[in-house]
Structure 1
Amino acid sequence: MATDLENIPTWMPVVAAAIMHGDGRVLMHRRPFGKHHGGLWEFPGGKVELGETPVMALIREINEELGIILDPAGMAPAAFAESHPDGANPAIVILLYTVTLWKGEPHAYEGGGWGWFTFQEAKALEKPPLDIILLDSLRNLKKDVG
């Protein structure tokens, strides 16, 4: 027998991009004021919609937020972070991808701003808790590779 609880999502998939400049800096996006975590810096991205793969969602979200077109050939899964469910809200699971290939120049279409930062500079930015985890994971990954 099906219950209403079966239709309540327990987690929400979110994708984010660590867009890597050729000189090693990473692009960070500032959340618009007035939104949850407004004014904090994060990896750009957003929710995975029904029927989308994470890569499809990331390409769509980055185009909407920054006006650039990501090349799937330059995208690779890098890390993830998850929140704990908060009452009636589902947990958030952010899937972080590194991005090395794209077309266009970034613009802040959502009004929050953006910038290129070294890992040290990005660490000093005020960020939502999950983006702190993602940045640390990305930094450790780069140390292991480099």
Structure 2
Amino acid sequence: MPNTAPEPGYIAVAAAVIVDGTGRCLLSYRHSGQHQGDCWEFPGGKLEPGESAEQALRRELHEELGITAEIGPLLHQQQHRYSDKSVQLFFFQVERWRGEPTGREGQPLSWQHVAALKPEQFPAANRELVAQLQRAERSPSAARD
């Protein structure tokens, strides 16, 4: 099991790459008043004290989207420093869930193919993952799966 303990001084965030049966991933829109607002993001949220990244993600997906998710493997982990805060992100694969995702906090949702994602439309801390997902989709080994 990967180490998902947050580093001191970082805000720990767990997020999901939720993929449907057609290969589209679910994105959530950050409202303009939020940090890094007016961007698409992978759904998720901050870890609560004593909570693992997987537990936090399961809770956040239920609170924000109304789904009960099976959390898959850790896809990507990174740290990012913004001018006003530092975040440590844990991105997990989610391919199975119960319920229909809805923006329970008034946030728009969109199902988009990975190839169509535009990194500049994401918070800076998400752009490396977007590029990684697009490289994986273009790789010959991904085409054989």
Q: Is the shorter-chain TM-score for this pair beyond 0.5, marking a shared fold? A: yes
- For residues 23 and 17 of structure 2, what CA distance do their matches in structure 1 show? 11
- For residues 37 and 140 of structure 2, what CA distance do their matches in structure 1 show? 33
Corresponding residue number in structure 2 for 1:139:
134
Please give the residue correspondences for 1:1-146 in structure 2 after superposition, counting only pairs within 5 Å: 9-72=8-71, 75-84=72-81, 86=83, 89=85, 91-123=86-118, 126-142=121-137, 143=139, 145-146=141-142
The answer (yes or no) to whether the contact 1:32–1:110 under 8 Å persists in 2 is no
The answer (yes or no) to whether the contact 1:41–1:127 under 8 Å persists in 2 is yes
CA displacement 1:48-93 (0-9 Å, x = unmatched): 1111111000000111111111023xx1110123212646x4x201
Aligned amino acid, residue 110 of structure 1: E
- For residues 16 and 31 of structure 1, what CA distance do their matches in structure 2 show? 13
CA displacement 1:25-59 (0-9 Å, x = unmatched): 11111012311122210001111111111100000
Given the two structures, how large is their TM-score scaled by the length of structure 2?
0.83
Which structure would you say has the larger Rg?
A: 1
Aligned amino acid, residue 19 of structure 2: M
The answer (yes or no) to whether the contact 1:12–1:47 under 8 Å persists in 2 is yes
Aligned amino acid, residue 102 of structure 2: H
Corresponding residue number in structure 1 for 2:4:
none
CA displacement 1:85-129 (0-9 Å, x = unmatched): 646x4x201110011010010111121211110112222671111
Aligned pairs, number: 134
Given the two structures, how large is their TM-score scaled by the length of structure 1?
0.82
- In angstroms, what is the RMSD of aligned CA positions? 1.9
Gapped runs of 5+ residues in structure 1? 1-8
Gapped runs of 5+ residues in structure 2? 1-7
Aligned amino acid, residue 29 of structure 1: S
Identical positions, percent: 33
The answer (yes or no) to whether the contact 1:66–1:108 under 8 Å persists in 2 is yes
